Amino acid sequence: MAEQTRTFIQNLLMVQSSFRQAIQRNLKKNNIDLTFEMLQIMVHLWKKDGINQQEIATKTFKDKASLTYLINNLTTRGLVFRQEDPIDRRNNNIYLTELGSEYGRKVKPMLQEIYKMASEKIDSSNFDVCINYLHDLDNAFKDI
């Protein structure tokens, strides 16, 4: 029923906002000079660097033009650098600097703690149902 979907989206945007604020608040509290968006990029690079901008864009649901901007900003801060892929010269592979890796050792535990604290207030038995709900919505919107 349409009104349920409307309500769900409303609440989804609410969570997106409170999540964002929680992240920003904790970055600040820990004196970490990163924006929410930069962090989104870095999280993926801490898992695996040397991936190109388009891959990062896809993983973070961002536009490739946003990636140009964000990678510029992260480069300026000395956290990452671009390296042209010798096999396919259209690609810029993005690598962490030593400083970029170091940030990870500080920030990843902070993130883990945030997720852990949130998890303790959630009834995890509903996880699968809720993830499916999100997937169904995502597929629906992609076709509309």
Partner DNA sequence: TTATAATAGTTAAACCTTTAACTATTATAA
Partner DNA sequence: TTATAATAGTTAAAGGTTTAACTATTATAA
Footprint of DNA on this chain (CB under 7 A)? 17, 20, 24, 35, 37-38, 52-55, 57, 62-71, 73, 82, 87-93
- Give me the helices (H) in 2-143, please: 2-29, 36-47, 53-60, 64-76, 98-119, 127-142
Contacts of 22 (CB under 8 A, 6+ apart): 114
* DSSP codes joined into one string, 84-104: E-SSSTT-EEEEE-HHHHHHH
* Distance of closest approach, residue 64 Cβ to DNA, in angstroms: 4
Biggest distance spanned by C-alpha atoms of the chain: 52
Comparing CB distances to DNA, the nearer of 91 and 101 is 91
Q: Which does 57 bind (CB under 5 to 8 A by kind): DNA, a copy of itself, none?
A: DNA
What is the distance between the terminal CA atoms of the chain, rounded to a whole angstrom?
Answer: 16
Q: Which stretch binds a copy of itself (CB under 8 A): 6-14, 48-56, 75-83, 87-95?
A: 6-14
Quick check: 9 binds a copy of itself (CB under 8 A)? yes
Binding site for a copy of itself (CB under 8 A): 1-9, 11-19, 21-22, 25-26, 61, 112, 114-124, 126-127, 129-144
